[in-house]
Structure formats: structure tokens, C-alpha cells
Amino acid sequence: MSGRKNIQGKLQKLLNEESIEHIGHGVYRNLNFPMTRHHSFLEPALRSPQGVICLLSALSFHQLTTQQPSEIWFAIANKAHPPKVIETRLKIIRMSGKSLQEGVELHVLEGVPIRIFGIAKTIADCFKFRSKVGLDVALEALKECREQQRCPIQELWHFAKVCRVSSVMRPYLEVLT
């Protein structure tokens, strides 16, 4: 119990010094780090450390779309409980196995480690979830990726196989190569 009081005392001291800001139950933000445009990724990442920023949110992070999603697209395991977030609207995407584990990159935003799918994995996911995000979004991302040479074609093929959309992506990849 003394350890808990010690932590609460330290938190209260930091709050009084205005070094941190209370965001929600058990979540604080360090005010010494500048707020980034992806600040909304922090709360779900802190509340569900195994979750991954995906689809439209990942495209926005990688600057491969003109759309700004109104909610955070967040992938979690099929049987996992969605994180209870206060400040952010979430669009939960259920994944399992390789689809959830491969292609994850670790980025640090405002001092917090955030798991975000890489470019090739995100594009393959957009084709897999084209009924949710729209085929136009998947095609725009693929086109931008290839024009900007952001990832090799072999990596796109690899994640097309992981996501089981190689037959869907094949005609578009063949046109762009």
C-alpha cells in the first residue's frame, strides 16, 4: 500500500507542477513533449498495448491518403476486449495470426511507443477490408506508394499473400510495375 501512496504522491506533485496532464483513468500526458498531429493515437495505444493502428489511420500516418479519418482505426485480436477510451472514437478491426503480427512498426509519438502497421501491410489490409474503406482508398494508397517509391513491390506481394488478397491485388500490381 505504501508503494501506491508513493506513486499517487508523485503523480499529484507532477500535476501541481503542470508537468503532466490527466487524460483519463490511469492515463497521463507528459506536457514536456510537443503534441503531434497524431496525438489521438496515444490513448488507445496505452490502453491496449497489443493493438495496432491500421487502415485509414495508418494511411494518414504514412501520408498515403488525402482523407482524414474521423475515428482511429485500431486492430485487435479476435477475442480481445476493445480498449475503453474516453477522448477518441475507435473503429475496431478484428484480426488474428499473421495478419495481426506481421508488418508492425514501432514509432514513438510524444514519448509513447505506438504500434502501427507499415506501408505494405496497410495497403494489403485496405484491399482485404475494401468493403469497409472503399476500393478507391486502396487504389489511391497503392498508386501513391508506387509513385513515391515508398516500399518495394516484393514487400507488397508478401503482404498480399499474408492478407490473402494476392488475387485481388494482382491486376493492380501488374499495371503499376
Q: What is the pLDDT of residues 102-140, one digit of tens each?
A: 999 999 988 889 999 999 999 999 999 999 999 999 999
**DSSP run (H or E) holding 29:** strand 27-30
For residue 34, is pLDDT > 70? no
Task: Indicate the domain borders of the chain.
Answer: 1-32, 34-176
- Band (pLDDT 50/70/90 cuts) for residue 164 is very high
How many CB atoms are located within 10 Å of the residue 169 CB? 22
The pLDDT of residue 134: 94
The pLDDT of residue 2: 53
For residue 79, is pLDDT > 70? yes
